[in-house]
Amino acid sequence: QVQLVESGGGLVQAGVSLRLSCAASGRTFTMYAVGWFRQAPGKEREFVAAITWSGSNTYYADSVKGRFTISRDNAKNTVYLQMNSLKPEDTAVYYCAASSRKYPSGNYYQTVRGYDYWGQGTQVTVSS
């Protein structure tokens, strides 16, 4: 089992930055990739960004490319999501997820079904 705990969310104004953290514990050696997803009220959970645990590959949703950066610190078993130039449409609960599966294509890490473990989420609210 892998446990994931998100932190760093909050209420901010448009244009500012936030950094989310995802701390992993348990059988972290089984993780192959970690992703961030978000879910706004009344909407489905959507992919934001993902990174392989080796750090060799990163993936981003088109809506956040150029504004968000995903990174990891293997020594701390932590993955970060640096969010710059935040917009009101970024408002959502942000979830961290871990996958223990090595897929032939990075497309799988952009789907909810590609992940085995999920955190409880952290709220990000961006006011205009």
pLDDT in tens, 65-121: 999 999 999 899 999 999 999 999 999 999 999 999 888 888 899 999 999 999 999
- Nearest partner of 38 among 117, 128, 118, judged by Cα: 118
Q: How confident is the model at residue 55 (pLDDT cuts 50, 70, 90)?
A: confident
Contact of 81 with 70, CB cutoff 8 Å:
yes
What is d(CA 122, CA 119) in angstroms, rounded to the nearest whole number?
9
Q: How confident is the model at residue 15 (pLDDT cuts 50, 70, 90)?
A: very high
Q: Is the pLDDT of residue 10 over 90?
A: yes
Phi, psi of 114 (to 5 degrees): -80, 0
User: What would the mean pLDDT of 35-49 be, rounded to a whole number?
Assistant: 97
Q: Pick 55 or 103 by higher pLDDT.
A: 103
Lowest mean per-residue pLDDT among 22-31, 41-50, 90-99, 109-118: 22-31
Average pLDDT, the chain: 95
Lowest mean per-residue pLDDT among 19-28, 52-61, 92-101: 52-61
Q: Is the pLDDT of residue 38 over 80?
A: yes
Residue 54 tokens, joined: 């080796």
What is d(CA 49, CA 59) in angstroms, rounded to the nearest whole number?
5
Q: What is the dihedral of CA 58, 63, 67, 70, to 10 degrees?
A: -30
Burial of 13 (0-12, 13-18, 19+ CB in 10 A): exposed
